[in-house]
Amino acid sequence: MSDKRTAAIALGLFSFVFASNAGAQSNPPTSRWVEIGRPHVAKRGSAAVLVQTITSTASKDRLWALVEVNGSDEWSGCDWLKTLEPKQAYRFECPLKNPSGQKYTTRVRVYRDAKLEDRELLYEPALEVTPQQLTAAENIGSAQAAVPVGIFESVETALPATFKPTWYRRVDKGFGMKAYENSGDLTVSADELVFVDGKKTVRIPQARILSVRWEPLAHDIANHWVVVRFTNDEGKADGVAFRDGARMGTRGNTGPIYQAVRRTKK
């Protein structure tokens, strides 16, 4: 059996084992450099918000926090990429619409480098909002200002930028031995995303992009993919995903791909 095939099978088995043990985290992970709070519901005036707090405890080094809040498929959620200055506290508030009875998932990643390659921690809690929680929610009108929703303090990679090799798959891809469907070149420009592998070309105009997330997918939740949801040529909602494919997918340099693709979403 070839080394490449052995590596691909090992990666697939790792994904399966990880999936069988994966689940929402109830307690934030600990770190020497950062303190993460549990997400909770609060009110600013009459509006309900989901609050996530992050405090940098580093004495001199900057950190980078990527925070995402997701809910139902009909709701676009909130996301931020924020530089964390040493010894500073940050509040992230995501406005919620009709939250009673809804379940929200928060994903917090903290990195020690601006390219989002050296991850310090990952926190993925879930929050189910009850009527009792809404009634008891604290009014935070006097609290410190929150980081504006959608702020994206990314590395300014010159566009167009080409990433290769890049793995490609459809979001609704079924089970298979390989986590990806095609491996080729992804070119990101201000106007569109273009993936080419010699046989297949996928072109997504920037104007049709609905959301960009960096998240696990079915049949490969051990690895996080850059998930692009968009309106296809038939006017229907669709989704594809990309990740770094170098070294049989083990290099792990998907952060720069995410930042470049996310910048195309206005």
The CATH number of the domain where 92 resides is what?
Answer: 2.60.40.2420
> Do 77 and 131 lie in a common domain?
yes
**218 in any annotated domain:** yes
How many angstroms from the chain centroid is the CA of residue 119?
13
**39 is a domain residue:** yes
Is 70 exceeded by the pLDDT of residue 130? yes
Looking at the predicted structure, is the pLDDT value of residue 13 above 60? Answer: no
Q: pLDDT category, 92, cuts 50, 70, 90?
A: very high
Q: Which residue has the higher pLDDT, 170 or 19?
A: 170
Say whether pLDDT at 3 is over 60. Answer: no
Residue scoring higher pLDDT (45 or 196): 196
For residue 109, the SS3 value is: strand
State the pLDDT at residue 17.
Answer: 36
Q: 177, 135, 160: which is closest to 11 by C-alpha?
A: 177
Q: How confident is the model at residue 24 (pLDDT cuts 50, 70, 90)?
A: low
The verdict on residue 144 lying in a domain is no
Range of the domain at 255: 161-263
Structure confidence by residue, pLDDT tens digits, 227-249 = 999 999 999 999 999 999 998 87
Q: What is the mean pLDDT of the chain?
A: 87
Give yes or no for residue 266 having a pLDDT over 70: no
The one-letter code for the residue type at 122 is: L
Question: What's the whole-model pTM score?
Answer: 0.83
Which pLDDT band holds residue 2 (cuts at 50, 70, 90)? very low
Residue 244 covered by a domain: yes
What percent of the chain is modeled with pLDDT above 90? 69
Pair (126, 190) in one structural domain: no
Taking residues 31-45, what's their average pLDDT? Answer: 95
pLDDT interval class at 261 (50, 70, 90):
very high
The answer to whether residues 249 and 207 belong to one domain is: yes
Q: Is residue 14 part of a domain?
A: no
Q: How many domains would you assign to the chain?
A: 2
- Planar angle of CA 177, 257, 72, nearest 5 degrees: 75
Question: Residue 179: its pLDDT value, please?
Answer: 87
Answer positive or negative: Cα dihedral of 86, 91, 94, 95.
negative
- Judge whether residue 172 has pLDDT over 50: yes
| Separation in Å, CA 40 to CA 28, 75, 106, 132, 261 | 13, 18, 10, 13, 30
What percentage of the chain has pLDDT greater than the value 70? 89
Instruction: State the Cα–Cα distance between residues 12 and 15, nearest whole angstrom.
Output: 5
For residue 181, the domain's CATH number is: 2.30.29.30
The CA radius of gyration of the chain, in Å to the nearest whole number, is: 19
Residue 156 falls inside a structural domain: no
At 160 the pLDDT is 96
Q: Which pLDDT value is given to residue 244?
A: 95
Are 134 and 171 in a shared domain?
A: no
Return the pLDDT at 19. 38
Interval 204-215: pLDDT, tens? 999 999 999 999
